[in-house]
Amino acid sequence: MQAKKRYLILLSAGACLILLFCLGGIQVPLSRRGPSRPHDRRLSGYGPGARWRHMSGYLQPFSSWEQDRSDDLTEHISPRQKRDANSGLYTGKRCRMESCFDFSLCERNGFKVYVYPQQKGEKLSESYQNILSSIEGSRFYTSDPGQACLFVLSLDTLDRDQLSPQYVHNLKAKIQSLPLWNGGKNHIIFNLYSGTWPDYTEDLGFDIGLAMLAKASISTENFRPDFDVSIPLFSKDHPRTGGEKGYLKYNTIPPYRKYMLVFKGKRYLTGIGSDTRNALYHIHNSEDVVLLTTCKHGKDWQKHKDARCNKDNAEYDKYDYREMLYNSTFCLVPRGRRLGSFRFLEALQAACVPVMLSNGWELPFSEIIDWNRAAVIGDERLLLQIPSTVHSIHQDKILSLRQQTQFLWEAYFNSVEKIVLTTLEIIQDRVLLHTSRSNLMWNSLPGGLFTLPQYSTSLRDFPFYYAELGIKPPSKFTAIIHVVTPLVSQSQPVMKLLVAVAKSQYCAQVIVLWNCEKPLPAKHRWPATSVPVTVIEGESKVISSRFLPYNTIPTDAVLSLDEDTVLSTTEVDFAFTVWQSFPDRIVGYPARSHFWDSNKERWGYTSKWTNDYSMVLTGAAIYHKYYHDLYTTYLPASLKIMVDQMSNCEDILMNFLVSLVTKLPPIKVTQKKQYKETMMGQPLVPLNPSCQGTKQNSPSRWADPDHFAQRQTCMNKFASWFGAMPLVHSQMRLDPVLFKDQVSILRKKYRDIERL
Amino acid sequence: MYTSGKYSSRGPALIPRMKTKHRIYYITLFSVVLLGLIATGMFQFWPHSIESTADWTLDKRSVHDAPLIRLPVSSPIPERGDLSCRMHTCFDVYRCGYNPKNRIKVYIYPLQRFVDELGVPISSTGLSREYNDLLSAISDSDFYTDDVTRACLFIPSIDVLNQNSLRIRETAQALAMLPRWDKGMNHLLFNMLPGGPPDYNTALDVPRDRALLAGGGFSTWTYRQGYDVSIPVYSPLSADVDLPERQPGPRHYFILSSQTAIHREYRAELERLKEENGEALLLLDKCSNLSQGAASARKRCYKGQVYDYPQILQESSFCVVLRGARLGQAALSDVLQAGCVPVILADSYILPFSEVLDWKRASVVIPEEKLSEMYTILKSIPHRQVEEMQRQARWFWEAYFSSMKAIGLTTLQIINDRIYPYAARTYEQWNNPPVVKWSSVNSPLFLPLIPPRAPGFTAVVLTYDRVESLFRVITEISKVPSLAKLLVVWNNQNKSPPEGEKKFKCPECTAIDGLSLDQTHMVERSECINKFASVFGTMPLKVVEHRADPVLYKDDFPEKLKSFPNIGSL
C-alpha cells in the first residue's frame, strides 16, 4: 500500500513537471526569438511583436457624405467638354478606344470592315494575302468605304524587319497618300515582326497615327489596353482556313507523359533576350527535364561561341524536336530575340502545356483569353523554380490545362482565318459594348466565334452552358412545319402530323411556315389543337427561310418538320426527352452518312442503311433555336444562296454547322417502322399536287435523280468553305430503355414506337 | 489489506480516507504545482512589457499613443508613379519566394503619427475607421506576417484612402521615411478617393515611386494593367443598412437614378428620358427641405415625395451609376447591395476588381454619349439576363464590396494570383455565386473527344469467389478486338487466385448468382443511395429514359451486315 501511494505521488509530481515544462518550453523559444534577430525588429525603434492591432477609440470615417457630394457638385467643367478634351490629350502611345476611335462610323451599318483595293505593283506576302482574304470572306466585309467602321490596309505591314526580304519600303509615304487614311482613325494594322538586330524595338518604322495594332510579340509596356490586339506569331505555312486539329485524341490518366518539361531551340549567346536561354542548362537534367539549345545560327556563330556550345550542340542533335513535343507534359516557351516565338502555337497544338518564360509579353488575345487555364505563366527571374513549380501542379489541373490548350487551339488559332476573325470579334465587342461576350463565352466551349452576343447576352439563351450554370434545359418545344404544297384535303399527311405533334405534352406552339405560292388557307381549315397554331409566310419562299430566327418562336427548343413527315406523339415525346440530355446537338430520326470517296478524291453522300451516320435530316429533328440564328448570321451568303437556288441541302448545311460548333455527331433516335420504301431511304412521294410555279419546292424533289447528285456537290462545296470536314460519325442510336426487351409491353412507357 | 487494495485501485476516492499527514502532503504538492502554473502564466506576458514599453502602449490600441514622427522639411520626396511599371519590372519577386502554400506574406507597418516641423499632422483625419478595419482584417488573415524579413508585400499604416484629407507633399515624405520603403518596391497603398479640384486626377496624386496602388476610380490612362488593382469605393451604408436579398425578378421601376450630385447636363438628359418613358423611370434627388447631415444621406426626394435610401434601390431593375467628379462612386456599392443591376456611365472607368470579375454578367456599361439611348438599350436585354445580373450583382457585393475586409483581402488575393499564377483562383471561383457553385456540373473531361479504337480499353473484373462466372466473363471479354488488357481484382481473402487455365468446381456459385435479386441486397443498396445523397448534400444522379443501341439494332435488316449483330440476342 505504501509503495502504491508513493508511486502515485511520484506519478502526479511527474505529470506536474511535464506540464510545467511544456508551458515553459513553448515560452522559451518565443522569448528567445526577439533578441536573436535584433536588427530585424529594431526598425525605427519598433520592438518585437509589432503586430498590427485594431485601434480603439473614436476614429473618423474616411469620407464624409457632404464633402464627397460637394466634390461632385463643384465640378464646373461639362462632362461633354471633358470627353472632347480627352481625344486631343490621349493620342499616340496613350490611345484608347475613347480617345482615338470614331464610334459613330459603326452606328449606321454595324461593325463592317473595309479592305483597301490592292494597288498595282504592290506585292503582298502570302500571310498578308491570307489575312485579307479571310476578312473579305467574312460576314463583316464591306466593299463600300462609306459603310465601314474599320479599315484594313492593302499594304503589307506584317514584316517590319528592315533586314527581311519581305520588308516594304516607303510605307510612310504610301500610307499618307491614301485618301481614306484620316490620320489612321478606325484603321487596324497587322504586324508579326518589328525592329531588327540588335535591339529589336517594337517600332514599325512609320507613323501609325491613331490606328490600332494587331501585333505579335507585343510587350505590356507598348500594348495599349482595350485598343491594340495581341495576336500570335504564325508561320507563312499556317493554313488560311480549316486548320489542323489538336494533337490530343484521347485523355490519359494519370496525365503524365514521358518528359515533364522540354525545350529545343537556338541560343543567342549575346544581345537582347539571350539571358534566359543561356541559363536553361541550370535546370536541364536530361531525364524528365530536357532543355536543349544550339549555338548554331547565323554565319558567324563560331565567333561568339562560349565554353558550353560544343557540349550543348552535341546534346541538341541527339533529340528529335517532334518526338519531344508530343511526349512531354509541359513545354517551355522562353522568349527569343522577340517576346513571342513559334514554340507557343506549336506547344498549344501538341497539347503540351506551355510554360511561359517571356517577361512582359502581352499574351495573344489576352483581352479575352484566360491563359491561366491553359498555360503556366512563369517568371524569367525565377527560372530555377520552374521544375519544382511544374512538379507541384496537381494531375487534375494538368488534365484540365491540356484539354484547354486543345480547345483554344481549335477555337482561335489553328488558321489565319480564326486569328483574323478573333481579332475582329474582339474589336466588335468593344464597339458594341452592351452586347459583348462575357469571359465565360470566350473561355469555354464552343468559344467566342460561335457564341454570337447579338443573339443574346444571356448565357441561359445558349445551348452550351446549362451544366455550367447548374440549370435544367428547357421543358417545351415549338414545332415548325415547313409546308410547300397547298391544302387540298383534311387527310393530307401534314394535317395528321400537326395533330400528332400538338398532342405532345412538351409542345408549346406549332408554327406552320407557308412556303407555297398559293395564298394562305383560311384559319378554320387547320385542325383544332390544344396548343396555338401560327401560320407565317416564308420570306421570298426560299428553303433557308425555315431556319430564320423567327421572333414568334417562344421556346429554346425547335422541332423542325417537313410536311410529309410521319410521326406519332410518342415518338416526339421520346425524342424531346433525349434532346434534353443533349441540348447542343441535333436529335432526330432519319440519318445519313458521309464518306471519303478515294477514287473520285471527294466527299460522298449516302442515304443507304449503314452502321453509322453523321447527319440527321432536319425534316424531323429537334435542336436549339440558337442554331437558326447561327445559320442565318454565321454562314456566308454564297452558301445560303446556293441552297436556296437548288432548294436542297439546307439540312446538310445545318448538320455541318452544328457539328462544327459541337465537334460531335448528331443523335438518331429510334423511329416507328413504316413502309419499306421509306426505310430504304426513298421517302414517300405524296400524291398531292404541288404549288404552281414553285417547281424547286416540290416535295417530289426526293424522287428527282438530280436531287441526289446535288447533295454530293453540296457536301464538297460546304467542306471547301469550312476548310475541313466537320461531320463526325456515330454508331449509336438512342432507344427507350425497354425497347424491344422481352418484357410486357404494358411496362414500357414508349410502347407505341415498337408497334407497327 | 484487502479493502485498501481495492480502494487504491479507484484513485481519487482514496483521498478522504487517507491519514491527515498524507492529506497535507498532497495539498502542499498541488499548491506548489498551482503556484508554478501561475508563475508560468505571468512569465508569458511579463518579459514583453519589460523589454519594450513602446510596444506595450501600442497594445493599449489607442491612436493617440502612437509614436510621433516629425518630418524635416528637406526630407526626400518619392518620385511620381512610373506608368510603365509592371510586376516584372517594378516588383521584387525574390521577396515572395517559393512556398508550398503559394501564399504571399504581408507586413503592416506599426502606427505612427507623422507631423511636419511645425507639428501639423500630414492628414486631417489621421487613421480612419475604414483603414483601421482594413488593416485589422489583413492582420487577422493568413496573409499576415509580423516578421518584416519574411514579408513579400508591405502595407504602410499611413492612411491615404481619401486624398482630400491629405497634405500631398508631406504624405509622400512620410512614405519615403518608412524603413523598408526602398523606392516603394513591394509596397501597397489603398486609396478610394483620388484627385482633387479642379481636374480630379483618377489616381492618387501622392508621389509614391514604384508602390502598387489599390485605387478606386482608375481610368484606363492611369491604371497600370497587371500592376495596380482597381478597388471599389467603400460605402458606409454597407455596414449601416441591412438590405435582405430579394428574389431576382421584375421590379416596380425599370430605371432608377438616385445619385444626388449629377452634373446638370446629365440631369437634363435624365429628365428628358423621364418625360419620354414616364413611370418606368424614377429620378431622385436630395431632399431640399431636410437639414444636412447623416440623416440626409438616407433620404431621397422626387417632387416633394420622400424615399428611403438605399431601400428604394430594391424597387428598381436597373440603377444608374453616373460618373461624378471622380469615376469611382460609392453608389455602385449601394446598388449592388440592393441587387439592382448597375448601369454604369463612366467612360474609361476601370471597374472594381476587373482583373478577376466578369462585369458583363453583373452590369451594363453604356458610353456616356449614349445616355439618351439608355432606355432602349436596357429594354433590349432579355428578362432572363436581368435576373441573372441581379443575382450576380448581389453576389459581387456580398463577396467583394460588403466590408473593408472583403475589399482588402480580395486585393491581396489578386496580387497573390499574379505571383503564383499556376495556383490562381479560377474564373468560376471568382464569379460563380455559391448557389451556382453547388449546382453546376463541370466535367473533368470537358473536351469533346471521340477517342480512336487504337489504344483499346482495359477490362477490370472484380471477383469474390464465383470462379466459374469469372472464367465465363474472361472468356467472353477476351474475344473483344479492342481489349488491350484484362485486370482481375481478386477479392477473396480465404483463397488464393487460381492459376492458369485450371478450372474450379464451385458448387455454391449458382446459389449466389441470384444475389442481385435478393431482397436484403436491394434494401442495402437503397440505404447506400440515401447515405451517399446525404453526404453529397444533393442527389447528383439524373434519370434518363434512353438507352444507347447500335444504329441498326433490331432493325429488319440482314444480320450479317450489322456491325454489332449479337447485341440483345441473349
Averaged pLDDT, A592-596: 95
Q: Lowest mean pLDDT of A576-585, B92-101, B407-416, name the range.
A: B92-101
pLDDT of residue B50 exceeding 70, the answer is: no
pLDDT of residue A44 exceeding 90, the answer is: no
Residues of A designated as active site = 651
Confidence of residue B27 (pLDDT cuts 50, 70, 90): confident
Spatial CB neighbours of A342, under 8 Å, sequence gap ≥ 6? A233, A234, A235
Alpha carbon of A731: minimum distance to chain B alpha carbons (Å): 6
Percent of chain A whose predicted confidence (pLDDT) is above 70:
87
Q: Which residue of B has its CA nearest to A367?
A: B355
Which pLDDT score, from 0 to 100, does residue B157 have? Answer: 94
Residue B49 at interface with chain A, using a CB cutoff of 8 Å: no
Report chain B residues whose CB lies below 8 A from the CB of A98: 220, 347-348
Percent of chain A whose predicted confidence (pLDDT) is above 90:
66
pLDDT of residue A205 exceeding 90, the answer is: no
Q: Lowest mean pLDDT of A284-288, A301-305, A387-391, B119-123, name the range.
A: A301-305
Q: Which of A44, A55, A670 to mutate to test the interface with B (most CBs of B within 10 A)?
A: A55
- Per residue in A458-489, pLDDT (tens digit) is 999 999 999 999 899 999 999 999 999 998 88
Contact between B132 and A55 using a beta-carbon 8 Å cutoff: yes
Cα distance between residue A502 and residue A645, in whole Å: 32
Name which residue leads in pLDDT, A584 or B47: A584
C-alpha cell at A642: 446556293
Residue B296 at interface with chain A, using a CB cutoff of 8 Å: yes
Spatial CB neighbours of A125, under 8 Å, sequence gap ≥ 6? A156, A158, A159, A166, A236
Q: Which helix (H) or strand (E) holds A275?
A: helix A274-279
The model scores a pTM over 0.90: no
DSSP category for residue A32: H
- Per residue in B494-529, pLDDT (tens digit) is 777 766 544 444 444 444 444 555 678 889 999 999
Q: Pick from A460, A461, A735: which is nearest to B553 by CB? A: A735
C-alpha cell at B204: 492618387
Residue B93 at interface with chain A, using a CB cutoff of 8 Å: yes
Q: Lowest mean pLDDT of A77-81, A117-121, A605-609, name the range.
A: A77-81
Which pLDDT score, from 0 to 100, does residue A342 have? Answer: 92
Which pLDDT score, from 0 to 100, does residue B261 have? Answer: 84
Percent of chain B whose predicted confidence (pLDDT) is above 70:
86
Alpha carbon of A402: minimum distance to chain B alpha carbons (Å): 10
Highest mean pLDDT among A36-50, A605-619, A689-703: A605-619
Averaged pLDDT, A262-282: 90
Which pLDDT score, from 0 to 100, does residue B442 have? Answer: 85
Q: Which residue of B has its CA nearest to A675?
A: B556
Which pLDDT score, from 0 to 100, does residue B222 have? Answer: 95
Spatial CB neighbours of B380, under 8 Å, sequence gap ≥ 6? none
Which pLDDT score, from 0 to 100, does residue B58 have? Answer: 39
- Per residue in A714-741, pLDDT (tens digit) is 999 999 999 999 999 999 999 999 998 8
Contact between B427 and A443 using a beta-carbon 8 Å cutoff: yes
Report chain B residues whose CB lies below 8 A from the CB of A673: 555-556
* Cα pseudo-dihedral A117, A123, A127, A129, rounded to 10: 30
Report chain B residues whose CB lies below 8 A from the CB of A13: 29
Which pLDDT score, from 0 to 100, does residue B232 have? Answer: 97
Confidence of residue B137 (pLDDT cuts 50, 70, 90): very high
Mean pLDDT of chain B: 86
Spatial CB neighbours of A669, under 8 Å, sequence gap ≥ 6? A571, A574, A575, A578, A587, A588, A589, A733, A734, A735, B546
pLDDT of residue A73 exceeding 80, the answer is: no
- Per residue in B163-189, pLDDT (tens digit) is 999 999 999 999 999 999 999 999 999
Averaged pLDDT, A19-44: 42
Q: Which of B69, B105, B237, B447 to mutate to test the interface with A (most CBs of A within 10 A)?
A: B447
Q: Which of A22, A62, A756 to mutate to test the interface with B (most CBs of B within 10 A)?
A: A62
Which pLDDT score, from 0 to 100, does residue A231 have? Answer: 97
* CA-based nearest residue to A410, from A240, A656, A245: A245
**Pair A372, A408: CB distance under 8 Å:** no
pLDDT of residue A694 exceeding 50, the answer is: no
pLDDT of residue A591 exceeding 90, the answer is: yes
pLDDT of residue B63 exceeding 80, the answer is: no
Q: Lowest mean pLDDT of A366-375, A535-544, A698-707, B151-160, name the range.
A: A698-707
Burial (Cβ within 10 Å: 0-12, 13-18, ≥19) of residue A531? middle
Give the three-class secondary structure for B472: helix
Alpha carbon of B501: minimum distance to chain A alpha carbons (Å): 32
Contact between A51 and B139 using a beta-carbon 8 Å cutoff: yes
Which pLDDT score, from 0 to 100, does residue A21 have? Answer: 55
Which pLDDT score, from 0 to 100, does residue B503 have? Answer: 45
Q: Which of A434, A454, A728 to mutate to test the interface with B (most CBs of B within 10 A)?
A: A434
Whole-Å CA distances, A255 to A409, A633, B504: 19, 40, 40
Which pLDDT score, from 0 to 100, does residue A703 have? Answer: 60
- Tell me the residue type at B66: A
Which pLDDT score, from 0 to 100, does residue A223 have? Answer: 95
Confidence of residue B99 (pLDDT cuts 50, 70, 90): confident
* Cα pseudo-dihedral B342, B346, B350, B355, rounded to 10: 30
Name which residue leads in pLDDT, B317 or A689: B317
Q: Pick from A393, A396, A460: which is nearest to B384 by CB? A: A460
Averaged pLDDT, B238-261: 93
Residue B16 at interface with chain A, using a CB cutoff of 8 Å: no
Q: Pick from A393, A399, A437: which is nearest to B444 by CB? A: A399
Cα distance between residue B158 and residue B178, in whole Å: 10
pLDDT of residue A119 exceeding 90, the answer is: no
Contact between A360 and B89 using a beta-carbon 8 Å cutoff: yes
Which pLDDT score, from 0 to 100, does residue B294 have? Answer: 60
Which pLDDT score, from 0 to 100, does residue B47 have? Answer: 42
Q: Pick from B136, B220, B551: which is nearest to A732 by CB? A: B551
Report chain A residues whose CB lies below 8 A from the CB of B146: 49-52
pLDDT of residue A234 exceeding 50, the answer is: yes
My answer on whether omega of the bond before B72 falls inside 30° of 0, hence cis, is no
pLDDT of residue A129 exceeding 50, the answer is: yes
pLDDT of residue A37 exceeding 60, the answer is: no
- Per residue in A341-356, pLDDT (tens digit) is 899 999 999 999 999 9
Mean pLDDT of chain A: 87
Averaged pLDDT, B348-359: 96
Q: Lowest mean pLDDT of A152-156, A595-599, B94-98, name the range.
A: B94-98
